[in-house]
Structure 1
């Protein structure tokens, strides 16, 4: 596993209060495969909190993803929903957990919040 992926999982509990505001509760298992083996990450989510663990325990949803793809996700180089639509990864179970979890991924490099762009535009024309 890459350092970026390890740092991503390590930071999840601290970031959960800002990311998990909706009433989402459940466990997502992320199966990362590469190099002939699979690592199992468990993310237990509830409003404002996330716990991270490892192991092949049962979960409400399972996301199967390659290590290289997940590294691109945690660095903002690709988007999770696009990866599922392109069949680069698969997902089974409660889709609400996937939609909540994807908010942990960073935006693509150079992306700006459109609201901030609009505010800057308004300031310039005044």
Structure 2
């Protein structure tokens, strides 16, 4: 397993209180493939809490991705919704869980909040 992916999953429980503020709950099984091998991650989401296991299990949604694409997602070099729309990855089940889970992915390198940019522009002109 790629180190970035391992670190990403390990960081989820600590980051959950800041990311999962809505009352959405459910379980996502994330299947990461390379060649003929698949690794499974089971992520249980609830308000302010995440439990991660390396297992298969009953899930409200299943996300299939290559390990390479998922590493790009966890490092901000790819975007989840764009990958689904391009059919580079598949997601089935409760799509709301995907929309909530993607909040854990970082912004692309060099991305800035547009509000911050606007404040800088106002500061320069005023």
Structure 1 unmatched ranges of 5 or more: none
> What corresponds to 1:114 in structure 2?
114
Cα RMSD for the two superposed structures? 0.8
- Count of residues in correspondence between the two structures: 126
1:63 and 2:63 correspond? yes
Taking the TM superposition and a 5 Å limit, the aligned residue runs for 1:82-121 are 82-121=82-121
With structure 2 as the length reference, what TM-score do the two structures score? 0.97
> What corresponds to 2:19 in structure 1?
19
What is the CA distance between 1:35 and its match in structure 2? 3.4
1:36 and 2:17 correspond? no
With structure 1 as the length reference, what TM-score do the two structures score? 0.97
Q: Deviations over 1:44-90 (max 9, x none)?
A: 00111111111111100000000000000011001000001111110
In the TM superposition, structure 1's runs of 4+ consecutive aligned residues that sit over 3 Å from their partners are: none
